[in-house]
Chain A
Amino acid sequence: GQNIDQPTEMTATEGAIVQINCTYQTSGFNGLFWYQQHAGEAPTFLSYNVLDGLEEKGRFSSFLSRSKGYSYLLLKELQMKDSASYLCAVRDHDGGSQGNLIFGKGTKLSVKP
């Protein structure tokens, strides 16, 4: 079956570093996305990985290991505004279907002073 797992909730301190893990089992793989979603708002795109390795974008970095079915999102220098849900999503590519995007249930991050 297809499954994406990420922790339900995490808490971190302002100024610290936090790593949000995501493991996936999908029938195909055509890229992994991370989104941020503040309460009551639409998700917004953070990062994209299709090859193994680390992608860095300012305070945010994302890592992918396709052989392990594993990714993480690293947030540095945490700010209060980073309190949000972080969604991991895998673009499937099974049997010719190229558009199926499967989301994890999201990790709710609370940043405390």
Chain B
Amino acid sequence: EAQVTQNPRYLITVTGKKLTVTCSQNMNHEYMSWYRQDPGLGLRQIYYSMNVEVTDKGDVPEGYKVSRKEKRNFPLILESPSPNQTSLYFCASSFPQYFGPGTRLLVL
């Protein structure tokens, strides 16, 4: 089944504790991206990747890192999470975008 998977789906953590949200797609798509969705602000792009080893900043990249070492995986890294990064995160691939199921993150 063609899909985008994200793990974990739910995460509660504390300020400053590094975390990684994984994203994987099995459709051989070159383009992948990360978004966060907050009430009243909508979906905002964090980072995107046009292909392996090619990444670029979206609208809200501060506090996040990404890597694209292989086509299928595009992890999102929060080196030192803060409460303002509490949000719903979506990974997506291709145009039009296929979205993963989302990761709900709470930073205490």
Contacts and interface: CB of A to CB of B under 8 A. Distances in A.
Interface of A: 31, 33, 35, 41-45, 48, 87, 89, 91, 97-106
B96 A33 contact: yes
Secondary structure type dominating chain A contacts: strand
Secondary structure type dominating chain B contacts: strand
Interface residue range, chain B: 20 to 34
Contacts, number: 56
Nearest to A87: B43
Contacts of A48: 96
Contacts of B33: 99, 101
Interface in B56-92: 56, 58-59, 90
Q: Which of A42, A102, A104 has its CB near the most chain B CB atoms (within 10 A)?
A: A42
Contact of A42 (B40, B41, B95, B101): B101
| A-B pairs with lowest CB-CB distance, top 8 | A105-B42, A42-B99, A103-B43, A45-B96, A99-B48, A103-B42, A43-B99, A99-B50
Contact of B90 (A42, A91, A99, A102): A42
A100 B48 contact: yes
Given A91-B95, A99-B33, 10 more contacts: A33-B97, A42-B99, A43-B43, A87-B42, A99-B50, A99-B56, A100-B45, A100-B48, A101-B97, A104-B42
A105 B96 CA distance: 18
Given A97-B56, A98-B50, A99-B31, A45 B45 contact: no
Q: Which of A33, A91, A103 has its CB near the most chain B CB atoms (within 10 A)?
A: A103
